[in-house]
Chain A
Amino acid sequence: MTTRRLMMQATVALAAIAAVTVPTGSAQAQKRGGEIVMAQQAQPPTIDGMTTTAQATRNISLHIWEMIVTRDENANVIGDLATAWTISPDGLTYTFTLREARFHNGKMMTSADAKASLERYGKVGGSPFMRPVKDMTTPDPRTLVITLSNPVPGFLEQLSSPRAPAVVIPAEEAGKAANQIENIGTGPYRFVEFRPDSHVKLARFDGYIQNTQGTGRDGFGGKKTAWVDTITIRFVPEGGARTAGLQSGEFQVLEQMPTPTAKRLANDRTITTHEMMPWAFQVFIFNAAQAPTNNPKVRQAIQAAIDPEEVMAISTDGSYRLLHGWQYPGTPYFQGDLGKENYNQKNAAKAKALLAEAGYKGEELLILTDSSFKNHNDTAITIGEQLKAIGMKVNVRVVDWPTALSSTTKKEGWNAWPLMMGIEPYEGPYNVVSFFAGANARMQVQDPVIDAANQTLTTALGLAERQAAFGQFQKQMMEQAYVIKVGEVGIFQATRANVKGYKPYRIPRLWDVWVE
């Protein structure tokens, strides 16, 4: 109650400032005002952005809060609240220069807020990347110095990742437990309300201070402009209901539209569809600790048997591309054709020979999957049918997502598990490799080659060295067939035709978007 009153006072106080900061029109005829209702399938588990790696939260939280460094349109690291930074030659000291920013309660942001936010991240943050941080100091209100205990070449990548975004909150909120903060940020939209199973409402923050370094929207950073008055994010689990709502004009933006619907509506002039390719990896992870998939020959047989095109066509409804690499083309760690000979073989004879060599005698292959993600479910079922065709005994067990996730972190009770990895390849190589390295490697065995590659990747300061390490990882993954990368998944987002300026990205960004 008190906060609401505080917010209202702040809003009143900011009315004057608003008059100054009204963005002046550019070449395009942007229009201020109006509202946007976006429908998304999942409801966010929390609004407290830094505490969760969940996609449904990111979609919302990155409108409210901003990060010190973030990612641009091509996922490279750029400044957001930081305008510049330097890294000491030993790779231990990061010095950030912060820009002017104003919180939704009217308070100006300082380096103390940034420090307090990162300290909170260390306690309740969704990712463990603050662990190597030894010390943080704030020599002046515009400077934040972070000192690491050992060099971590991927530190900026982690700090800038939207995975569980390291957003800056007011220092007064930073002592609070996860999910207990007032949702006050420096972003272009401010939080209004959260009604579970219904919606989240945001309103334009008229006191927003833009990043003047940028020229326009750029990834999660750049110069952001809020045009519409309010944004409502509605949680609509039924796909058909989301589409119907978009068609009737009830919703203006769909975070995701089923591919067949997007194709059907391609000629509908009231709706614009936007393809986002690539969106994620579709992978098929083996449990290398449990028979029969503890035998590399059995895994290689499955690798040889799979027809990735059928799997991808069915699981993505036709929005896919067939690529074997463990990074996207055009990114620094992309490995070209390395390991390609093991991909898309569709070689039943080879598969059967490998099975015979492995001494496979009809042991059951238990594919565990979940009904919460259609792609997972369809991948499991399609691969299951393909493996039956080479004479394997397959049992596809479909459980709910919490069960699948907890079961697949165990060494028994499953042989294979399909997973869409979305944010990890977007972030770069680090969380892709670490997922399969160390004591918690998700194929349930530790592979010395992969562990060594992970070690080099996370400690070597030279880019070439790290790239080579990533190559070793990819080669080992393909040869040992711990995991089959089936292909790359694309998604469709959709907007009403009167929504202008929309560009699909990792999350649907509703700044620099206006309604005609």
Chain B
Amino acid sequence: MADFAPAQLNEAGSLPAERFGMLKRFMANRSFVIGGALFLFVVMVALLADVIAPFDPLRNNFRYRLGPPNAAHLLGTDSFGRDVLSRVLHGSRVSLVIGLLVVILTGLFGTLIGAVSGYVRRLDNLIMRIMDGFMAFPPILLAIAIGAVLGPSLLNAVIALTVAYTPRTARIVRASVLVVRESEYVEAARALGAGHVRILFRHILLNSLGPLLVQLTFIFALAILAEAVLSFIGVGPSPPTPTFGNIIADGRNYIAEAPWITIWPGIAIMVTVLGLNLLGDGLRDVLDPRLRAEAR
């Protein structure tokens, strides 16, 4: 499941020419509004974690280990006696940072590779075969292998996930570039003597932004799910850093004695990912009318 989001079924698409009333259309889209609100909520929690968390997420207290929820510790404590609520709140920050970095890097490299591959025909075959090589494995397996090589850290988790998801993004960008490249206005630009770089960036990429943005929203969601898996396997950001995955990994050995450690971060992941999936649906409905039928 961590590998798939609805938007990936359709790799090509284009931005509607008219942008008039875009905001209005966004606000009228229920998925976008609910998803945006959920996601905004998680972002606010992450930003304000220092203020709202009742405890230091790294503070041990061996006298109240595996403590059930009570008035002081609303979500109980973990095996170090750390406050689970504080760890989940701070965990949202780390998980969002990882997701965001993966989105930015994937967007950057995916666009670059996809654009070059789609526009420069001679390189197309070579680049796409290399991408195929990376896509021959489930992305999570690839990320785990790379994570093991680089060692567990926040940055390495970002690198591993970027390598895992870039080929898919590159494919999508390439597909839109192929479509746009042959369109009339690119022909027109070419006829007017625009250079390759200008055509690529001004005309082609700008018009591939819609599907890319939709795809990146889903990659954000996938990255948050995948971070949890990496931490669970032991190749994610180094403990004691609170991330959703690390908290679950800490709790897995105590699932019968202290289920609260495992359950809450899982729910936090669900809320975050649900927000992003809704947001992605909404974005697609508005930006990509070709696919609008699907979410009717």
B-contacting residues of A (Cβ < 8 Å)? 238-240, 243-244, 258, 260-261, 264, 309-310, 313-314, 317-318, 371-372, 374, 377-378, 381-382, 384-385, 396-400, 403
Known contacts A313-B65, A385-B58; is A398 also within 8 Å of B239 by CB? yes
Which of B235, B238, B256 sits near A261, CB closer than 8 Å?
B256
* Cross-chain contact B235 with A260 (CB below 8 angstroms): no
For residue B255, which residues in chain A have a CB less than 8 angstroms away from its CB?
240
Nearest neighbor of A258 in chain B, beta-carbon distance: B253
* Cross-chain contact A260 with B254 (CB below 8 angstroms): yes
Known contacts A399-B152, A400-B235; is A381 also within 8 Å of B240 by CB? yes
Which of B60, B153, B253, B254 sits near A314, CB closer than 8 Å?
B60
For residue B148, which residues in chain A have a CB less than 8 angstroms away from its CB?
400
For residue A243, which residues in chain B have a CB less than 8 angstroms away from its CB?
256
Known contacts A310-B60, A371-B234, A399-B152; is A261 also within 8 Å of B257 by CB? yes
User: Is residue B79 within 8 Å, beta carbon to beta carbon, of the partner chain?
Assistant: yes
Given A313-B65, A397-B151; 6 other pairs, CB 8 A cutoff = A239-B252, A261-B257, A264-B257, A314-B65, A385-B58, A396-B239
* Cross-chain contact A381 with B256 (CB below 8 angstroms): no
- Interchain CA distance A260-B79 in the complex, whole Å: 10
Count of residues in B whose CB is under 8 Å from the partner chain: 25
User: Is residue B62 within 8 Å, beta carbon to beta carbon, of the partner chain?
Assistant: yes
A–B pairs, 22, beta carbons within 8 Å: A239-B252, A240-B256, A243-B256, A309-B62, A313-B65, A314-B65, A377-B239, A378-B79, A378-B80, A381-B60, A381-B80, A381-B240, A382-B60, A385-B60, A396-B238, A396-B240, A398-B152, A398-B234, A399-B238, A400-B152, A400-B235, A403-B151
Nearest neighbor of B81 in chain A, beta-carbon distance: A314
User: Is residue B198 within 8 Å, beta carbon to beta carbon, of the partner chain?
Assistant: no
| Residues 70 to 114 of chain B near chain A (Cβ within 8 Å) | 79-81
- Interchain CA distance A398-B230 in the complex, whole Å: 13
* Cross-chain contact A317 with B234 (CB below 8 angstroms): no
Nearest neighbor of A310 in chain B, beta-carbon distance: B62
Interface residue SS majority, chain B: loop
A-contacting residues of B (Cβ < 8 Å)? 58-60, 62, 65-66, 79-81, 148, 151-153, 234-235, 238-240, 252-258
Q: How many whole Å from A375's CB to the nearest CB in chain B?
A: 12
- Interchain CA distance A371-B62 in the complex, whole Å: 20
For residue B234, which residues in chain A have a CB less than 8 angstroms away from its CB?
371-372, 398, 400
For residue A374, which residues in chain B have a CB less than 8 angstroms away from its CB?
253
- Interchain CA distance A400-B147 in the complex, whole Å: 10
Q: How many whole Å from A473's CB to the nearest CB in chain B?
A: 31
- Interchain CA distance A281-B177 in the complex, whole Å: 62
Q: How many whole Å from B58's CB to the nearest CB in chain A?
A: 6
- Interchain CA distance A239-B253 in the complex, whole Å: 5
For residue A371, which residues in chain B have a CB less than 8 angstroms away from its CB?
152, 234, 239
- Interchain CA distance A155-B153 in the complex, whole Å: 45
Interface centre among B152, B153, B258 (most CB of A within 10 A): B152
For residue B240, which residues in chain A have a CB less than 8 angstroms away from its CB?
381, 384-385, 396
For residue A377, which residues in chain B have a CB less than 8 angstroms away from its CB?
239
For residue B258, which residues in chain A have a CB less than 8 angstroms away from its CB?
260
Known contacts A313-B62, A385-B58, A385-B59; is A258 also within 8 Å of B254 by CB? yes
* Cross-chain contact B235 with A314 (CB below 8 angstroms): no
For residue B254, which residues in chain A have a CB less than 8 angstroms away from its CB?
258, 260
For residue B59, which residues in chain A have a CB less than 8 angstroms away from its CB?
385
Nearest neighbor of A385 in chain B, beta-carbon distance: B60
Q: How many whole Å from A238's CB to the nearest CB in chain B?
A: 7
For residue A397, which residues in chain B have a CB less than 8 angstroms away from its CB?
151-153, 238
Known contacts A314-B81, A377-B239; is A399 also within 8 Å of B62 by CB? no
Q: How many whole Å from B257's CB to the nearest CB in chain A?
A: 4
For residue A313, which residues in chain B have a CB less than 8 angstroms away from its CB?
62, 65
For residue B79, which residues in chain A have a CB less than 8 angstroms away from its CB?
260, 314, 317, 378
- Interchain CA distance A294-B218 in the complex, whole Å: 49
* Cross-chain contact B152 with A240 (CB below 8 angstroms): no
Q: How many whole Å from B239's CB to the nearest CB in chain A?
A: 5
For residue A258, which residues in chain B have a CB less than 8 angstroms away from its CB?
253-254, 257
Q: How many whole Å from B160's CB to the nearest CB in chain A?
A: 14
Q: How many whole Å from A400's CB to the nearest CB in chain B?
A: 6
Which of B58, B66, B238 sits near A398, CB closer than 8 Å?
B238
A-B CB proximity, top 8 nearest: A371-B234, A239-B253, A398-B238, A313-B62, A240-B255, A260-B257, A381-B240, A310-B62
